[in-house]
Copies of this chain bind each other. A is one copy, B any other.
């Protein structure tokens, strides 16, 4: 076959890019040798001398490997993707941070794609699919799905092409591994703390009773009471809208319902926002926290819990840890371990501040 003429590319290189070839020439060796040195091959058989020369050339030229080319050649990208609603809650951020940090430790990159769902009713499937698709185009080796509050979700079909882990949510079809907070243990810890402080009549300001968070936390509360030989009085469990106003109203109801001697001495608010409202209701009535009424929250929404006066004792949702664990699980999966659709529970630590 005849040697074909080389077409002359229009002087493409707009941006100076030092390649391995440049390094090789500078060091007077072959490109292969450079590649061997840079990837630290074991059975390398490159003399210390040339190795040094190559490293010098790398320094001198300011060589920087091209991650894309490497990915193409080696057929592995070292990229994970995470799709999440970055918007609404500040929670997603903590998940991302946890995942990001862990990925960084593992020398991997985390590509973040927003799925921007409009509201809590149902995910914006179109955007989620598009996000997943984009991520797959980048040839991510694994996918993370993160929700801002603990719930069941439906994952796009195409996500099943690579290992996938759910964070703070679970697959409604039960086919994917997931990582969620241990709500039950959290509820137990919260109420346990109140019991330990001597409280016997404990009011509970509940969330929408159907969501996993409410179910788990309430169950935990029940368990803690049972351990102390007490029962959860249904009358003391009042529903509330998951906002400060909702908490205010619920607290008003429960506080005004009883004469002082029967009034609960502690309030377990199933989230911090409601606790914030409860604070107002309590203070309005001339009562003190925690002197007259102790308050414990859930979620550890920093900006609320740490700045309320007195600072709110609450149970933290372990977002960062879940993010990190998600990446670890993904790493195990991509390393070849079989995908098992189990659910990992992560502990919710109690944060003692001043409201109990």
Which A residues form the contact surface with B (CB < 8 A)? 1, 3, 12-15, 64-69, 71-72, 75, 77, 86-87, 90, 93, 96-97, 100-101, 104, 109-112, 114, 116, 133-134, 136-139, 162, 243-244, 248, 273, 276-277, 280, 283, 301, 303-304, 307, 309
Contacts and interface: CB of A to CB of B under 8 A. Distances in A.
A60 to B, nearest CB: 16
Given A12-B75, A90-B90, A243-B307, 6 more contacts: A13-B75, A68-B69, A101-B116, A110-B112, A112-B112, A248-B309
The interface centre, meaning the residue of A75, A111, A307 with most chain B CB atoms within 10 A of its CB, is A307
8 contacts: A1-B3, A66-B72, A67-B138, A68-B69, A104-B114, A112-B112, A243-B307, A273-B307
B72 A68 contact: yes
Contacts of A110: 112
A97 B86 CA distance: 7
Given A90-B90, A93-B90, A93-B93, A309 B66 contact: no
Copies in the complex: 2
A316 to B, nearest CB: 15
Contacts of A67: 137-139
Contacts of A66: 72, 137, 139
Contacts of A77: 68
A100 B131 CA distance: 12
Contact of A96 (B69, B86, B137, B273): B86
Contacts of A243: 307
A6 to B, nearest CB: 14
Contact of A280 (B96, B104, B309): B309
